[in-house]
Amino acid sequence: MRISTAQLHAQGLAGMLGRQQEISRTQQELVTGNKLTRAAQDPAGAASAQRIDHALASLEQFERNSGLVGHRLRLQEGALGDAGDTLTRARELAIQGNNAALSDGDRTMLVAELRALQSQMLGIANRDDGNGRQLFAGTRDGVTPFALSAGNVSYAGDDGQNQVDIGPGLAVGDTNAGSEVFLRVRAGTGDVRGSADPGNSGRAVLQATSVADSAQWNGATLRLQFTGPDAYEIHDANGAVVSTGSYLSGDSIDVGGVTLRLTGAPAAGDGFDVQRAPNQAVFTTLQRLADAMAAPAATDAQRARRDNIISESLADLSSAQDHLLRMRADTGARLAAVDAAADTREAGEISMTETLSSLRDVDFAEAASRLTLHLTALEAAQATMMRVQGLSLFDRLR
């Protein structure tokens, strides 16, 4: 086999260049701490590392989402608590206003505070999250959800609720729409509502309404109609008489599975209606209570009308308080889900980071040892090349 001088030089040069590439690659690993500087070094490992990088980036986005929705839910929980406190105070004022011995001046002060509570409730409903987004506008941004005009509260939001991704395959609801929180609130007991006819001329006051037999009462509208101070008829929704009875102040009257307790003397023709509890905005409840307490009550009929509305409002306020408590419980459950998702994300992040480290991170002791080996090999190649360069066939000639 013939080996030319040029071939020896080429082979020696290729060997030194190979050693220098290995040295450069090892030095880069030591500087960057990443042993997958090129996908060709470990195609399968590089692909796995890239997938884990994408997964970790997704976890970071989930964490940002969780922080935002958790902040808004905590603000909603605080707002619901403040709204509940407002209703509690309104209930206390209603109980005070239901005292017949209260003077007109005292009642005027109660009315002023009730008006202030209505404004306070409106402010709670219009709270934002500190980032320019309203808590109770549904999915709409850039709007003030509630506005008071001529004693009526209007809603500019929608009924939607954003679902926020807080983990792989896990989403949690954002804050509730204001229509659900403040407008669609069951009146009465939440199941049934009894109310006095505004045209009543007697002194009878409906003190309480409750469902005594849910199997007998199917939600139908019924009417208790007095034919005299001590006698009544029960009418169905079509006005047909279904039963009759006698009345004594303080009696509880069964109206088709619903029990009504009344006090005072009714007049012939006075009526009390029973119906399935309708939805009533908390603003309307507060407005109706304030208006009733501010209305003149010079006659027995006017006083009975005021007392009936106060009695109805007390039931409406209790039902609204229960509604807000349920909303707070639901908010708390979502906050618990956010916290649980954070724990799951943390565990997943630790596991993926460890896997990524095993794929990509450099073992500095091994890399330093390898660099020394490559340097030694380069020195040997250089020394060999110098020896080869000094050789010549003419040295064999005598």
pLDDT digits (tens, 9 = 90+) for 274-300: 999 999 999 999 999 999 999 988 899
pLDDT in tens, 8-42: 566 666 666 666 666 666 666 655 656 555 555 55
For the segment 305-346, what is each residue's pLDDT rounded down to a tens digit?
A: 999 999 999 999 999 999 999 999 999 999 999 998 888 777
- Per-residue pLDDT of 166-223, as tens digits, reads 888 889 999 999 999 999 999 999 999 999 999 999 999 999 999 998 888 988 999 9
pLDDT computed for residue 11 by the predictor: 62
Q: Helix, strand or coil for residue 133?
A: coil
pLDDT of the residue at 325: 96
Question: What's the start-to-end Cα distance of the chain, in Å?
Answer: 24
**What letter would DSSP give residue 207?**
E
Q: Give the whole-angstrom CA distance, residue 353 versus residue 60.
A: 13
Residues 6+ apart with CB under 8 A from 6: none
Q: Which amino acid belongs to residue 237?
A: A
Reference 23, options 377, 360, 365, 361; nearest CA is 377
Cβ–Cβ under 8 Å, residues 223 and 272: yes
Closest by CA to 121, choosing from 157, 97, 145, 95, is 145
Higher pLDDT, 162 or 59: 162
pLDDT at position 105 = 86
Q: What is residue 215's predicted lDDT score, i.e. its pLDDT?
A: 85
Question: Distance between CA atoms of 201 and 193, rounded to whole angstroms?
Answer: 21
User: pLDDT tier at 126 (50, 70, 90 boundaries)?
Assistant: very high
Which DSSP string corresponds to 271-317? EEEEEEPPB--HHHHHHHHHHHHHS---SHHHHHHHHHHHHHHHHHH
CA distance 355 to 361: 10
* Sole residue written with tokens 């349920």: 326
- At position 314, the amino acid (one-letter code) is L
Percent of the chain with pLDDT over 70: 75
Q: What is the pTM of this model?
A: 0.79
Place of tokens 């209505």: 118
Residue 377 pLDDT greater than 90, yes or no: no
Selection from 197, 236, 240 nearest residue 219 by Cα: 236
Q: Is the pLDDT of residue 235 over 80?
A: yes
- C-alpha dihedral (97, 103, 105, 108), degrees to nearest 10: 20
As given in the structure block, the two tokens for residue 203 are 């002194």
Beta strand ranges found along the chain (DSSP E): 146-149, 152-155, 163-167, 170-173, 192-196, 205-211, 222-228, 231-235, 241-246, 252-255, 258-263, 271-276
- Give the model's confidence band at 390: pLDDT under 50 very low, under 70 low, under 90 confident, else very high: low
* 50-55 long-range Cβ contacts below 8 angstroms, 24+ apart: 52/352, 52/355, 52/356, 52/359, 53/356, 55/348, 55/352
Domains and CATH numbers, the chain: 36-188+279-361 (1.20.1330.10), 191-276 (no CATH)
Rounded to the nearest 5 degrees, what angle is found at the Cα of 349, between the Cα atoms of 343 and 353? 155
The lowest-confidence range among 110-114, 251-255, 366-370, 391-395 is 391-395
Helices (H) and strands (E) in the chain, counts: 7, 12
Tell me the pLDDT of the chain averaged across its residues.
84
Q: Check whether 62 has a pLDDT greater than 70.
A: yes
